[in-house]
Amino acid sequence: MLVLGIESSCDETGVALVEFEAASTTPPRLLADALHSQISMHQAYGGVVPELASRDHIRRVLPLTREVLAKSGRPLTEIDLIAYTQGPGLAGALLVGAGVAASLAAALDRPSLAVHHLEGHLLSPFLSADPPEFPFVALLVSGGHSQLMRVDAVGSYELLGETIDDAAGEAFDKSAKLLGLPYPGGPHLAKLAEQGNPEAFALPRPLLHSGKPDFSFAGLKTAVLTQVKKLGEAPSEQQKADLAASTQAAIVESLLKKSLLALKETGLKRLVVAGGVGANKSLREQLNAACAKRGVRVHYPELNLCTDNGAMIAMAAALRLQRGMGKPLPAGSGFEVRPRWALDAVN
């Protein structure tokens, strides 16, 4: 079976083709994927402009689909199902992917399947050479979400804890902006942090001792703003690097401590890290070291599949279909999007 996956929830247009055997436990295989990032377009505005994002998805999605088909050597007519991101995300951006998926499904007389964006992130390590086994604790850290989940199987997600305010990626991005770094700030702040001292500034780690696997990052940006103001008009490169390193250390410590707490509470010995912030080197190093000490195995998606992509959407659809889960809609059924959609609602 061939499934085409389309991702358009935010500022990346992703398309991918995954092949799988129905009613089998053989892992699905990624045949080809293609991605267009809108980062350079939004950079001038310091963040994603939703209307520009939607229009660009319209421009990119069909050329990317053609690219994926050409790379895989498979014709459009061989596709058995079209999967697309239904939410959460920007409404207009989601409508583009969903509309194209429903139209392709109608034209080819094939079913379509709506996929939850975060389920895509969560299952993206199944695209790696060393896929995890169930059950596991998942740390889901992206621009819009910071959650710890207990995952017992595909479609069995229990929320253990989440952020009460900003997401981890948002904390990276907002702090980076205060430091004058380009959007999206996460990777830029991480790079600058490599030259800095993580103990130079004492920044808050709210809820660190709450005893629950929850997070709070909103206070961090206020603290960073205070430090930026104190540094004045022309901070030195070293001061900026020190503040970047201290900010990263505060975010990483919260993510690390709460992941360890979730592992302890559940008694599980496997951790899956997914979402854009999962690409952070310092987070990976610290999780790897702490988990190795505790006999916990950590799984990550391939670096290029940490941020948004079509492969994770096609993969999530394939894993669901293999298990007889998910509700593919027949061709011509229309479509809807869910800009706000909790992951545990898909169980």
Contact between 125 and ligand KG4 per CB under 6 A:
no
Instruction: Give which of Zn ion, ligand KG4, none residue 224 binds (C-beta under 5 to 8 Å, depending on kind).
Output: none
Compute CA distances 167 → 56, 258, 282, 299, whole Å: 25, 14, 18, 21
> Is the CB of residue 33 less than 8 Å from the CB of residue 324?
no
Q: Torsions phi, psi of 334, nearest 5?
A: 85, -170
* Residue 14 site contact among ligand KG4, Zn ion, none (CB < 5 to 8 Å, cut-off depends on kind): none
Query: Which lies closer to ligand KG4 via its Cβ, residue 185 or residue 198?
Result: 185
Note whether 12 binds Zn ion by CB under 5 A: no
Q: Decide whether 87 or 144 has the Cβ nearer to ligand KG4.
A: 144
Q: Does 38 bind Zn ion (CB under 5 A)?
A: no
Which 130-149 positions form the footprint of Zn ion (CB under 5 A)? 142
Which of 227, 246, 280, 286 is in the footprint of ligand KG4 by CB under 6 A? 280
Cα 148 to the chain's mean position, in Å?
13
Q: How far is the CB of 217 from Zn ion (least distance, A)?
A: 17
Q: How far is the C-alpha of 61 from the C-alpha of 8, rounded, in Å?
A: 9
Partner that binds at residue 184, options Zn ion, ligand KG4, none, CB closer than 5 to 8 Å by kind: ligand KG4
Upstream peptide bond of 213 is cis (omega within 30 degrees of 0): no
Nearest to 252 by CA among 295, 217, 222: 217
Residue 227 binds ligand KG4 (CB under 6 A): no
Question: How many chain residues touch ligand KG4 (CB under 6 A)?
Answer: 19
- Residue 98 Cβ vs ligand KG4, minimum distance, rounded to whole Å: 17
Which positions from 50 through 79 interact with ligand KG4, judged by CB under 6 A?
Answer: none
Amino acid identity of 301?
A: P
Of the pair 170, 242, the CB lying nearest ligand KG4 is at 170
From 27-35, 37-45, 67-75, 271-279, span contacting ligand KG4 (CB under 6 A):
271-279
Of the residues 79, 277, 305, 319, which one makes contact with ligand KG4 according to CB under 6 A: 277
CB of 282 to ligand KG4, least distance (A): 8
In the complex, the smallest distance separating the C-beta of residue 84 from ligand KG4, rounded to whole angstroms, is 15
Cβ-based neighbours of 248, under 8 Å, separated by 6 or more = 172, 189, 190, 193, 198, 280, 282
Q: What's the token pair of residue 312?
A: 């994770």
308 near Zn ion (CB under 5 A): yes
Map residues 165-204 to x or -, x wherever contact with ligand KG4 holds by CB under 6 A: ----x--xx----------xxxx--x--------------
Q: Does 286 bind Zn ion (CB under 5 A)?
A: no
Q: Tell which phi-psi region holds residue 299, choosing left (phi > 0), alpha (psi between -120 and 50) or beta.
A: beta
Counting Cβ atoms within 10 Å, is residue 329 exposed (0-12), middle (13-18) or buried (19+)? Answer: middle
Distance in angstroms (rounded) separating the CA atoms of residues 287 and 276: 16
3-class secondary structure for 319-338?
HHHHCCCCCCECCCCCCCCC
**Residue 273, Cα to own-chain centre: how many angstroms?**
10
* Residue 10 binding ligand KG4, by CB under 6 A: yes
Alpha helices in the chain, H assignment, sequence order:
39-43, 50-72, 91-108, 117-123, 168-178, 185-193, 218-231, 237-266, 281-293, 311-322
Distance separating alpha carbons of residues 5 and 32, to the nearest angstrom: 11
Residue 308 lies near ligand KG4 (rule: CB under 6 A): yes
The distance of closest approach from Cβ of residue 331 to ligand KG4 in the complex, given in angstroms and rounded to an integer, is 29
Site for Zn ion, rule CB under 5 A: 142, 308
Site for ligand KG4, rule CB under 6 A: 10, 142-144, 169, 172-173, 184-187, 190, 275-277, 279-280, 307-308
